[in-house]
Structure 1
Amino acid sequence: MSESFTLKQVAEHKEVDQGLYIVIDSDVYKLDTFVDEHPGGAKILKRMGGKDASKQFWKYHNESVLKKYAPKLKIGSVKEEAKL
């Protein structure tokens, strides 16, 4: 079962030792165990930690990449936050 996260909760996981979460199209991915495997290097993942990386992801990847890695790395989705 996947969890729901706020963007603030995702932002709290911006470092590898904090779990290194990123958001792609409202889905949350935990990349701390994938950083060293990333073909493009760890640097870009670390730079995007705790943020919405959708724009950067789609610039360099296609849908097949998500299909391949989502089962292993996706941990939930971003929930709508109440607006005051």
Structure 2
Amino acid sequence: MPTLTKLYTMEEASQHNTSDDCWVVVDGKVYDVTTYLDEHPGGDDVLLGAAGQDATEEFEDAGHSKTARELMEQFFIGELDETPPPIPELEIVSKKQEFKNFPQKVLNLSKQYWVVPVAAVGLSLAVGFLYLRRKK
């Protein structure tokens, strides 16, 4: 039974960019090189400079040997998921549709918040009553 390869997004890989957690991406493959930092012949600063990034160009420019490429495989943790993110669907709402249910929405709101108008009317009546009583 073939083993399944874990897929990582570039966003996930970019979060691993410290000396305590160092990932690099080369040729669409993701490598956790945290334990290799001290052993890297070019120094840990080279790997840390590429941490959390696609380092394919830098890797190729350095002219790594076949042995280095074979050594790299022990740090392989998965592949880069290069499928584009889904495009969200837009909801198109016409102005006619927006006002079509307006009376029903007002009715629903008035049923839900009936206390406010009743309180306003009650307060108005109380103030009017007190005003008329004081006038006498």
* TM-score, L = length of structure 1: 0.87
Of structures 1 and 2, the one with the larger relative CO (CA 8 A, separation 6+) is 1
**1:17-28, aligned counterparts within 5 Å?**
17=20, 19-28=21-30
Counterpart secondary structure, 2:52: coil
Deviation at 1:3, TM superposition (A): 1.2
**How many aligned residue pairs are there?**
82
| Aligned-residue RMSD, C-alpha | 1.5
C-alpha distance in 2 between matches for 1:75 and 1:50: 14
Counterpart secondary structure, 1:82: coil
1:58 to 57, 60, 65: 60
Gapped regions of structure 2 (runs ≥ 5): 88-136
Return the letter of the residue paired with 2:18. E
The structure that has the greater radius of gyration is: 2
Which has the larger share of strand?
1
Q: Percent identity?
A: 27
Which has the larger share of helix?
2
Over 3 Å counting, the alpha-carbon distance change for 1:62 and 1:83 in structure 2 is farther
Gapped regions of structure 1 (runs ≥ 5): none
Displacement over 6 Å in runs of 4+: none
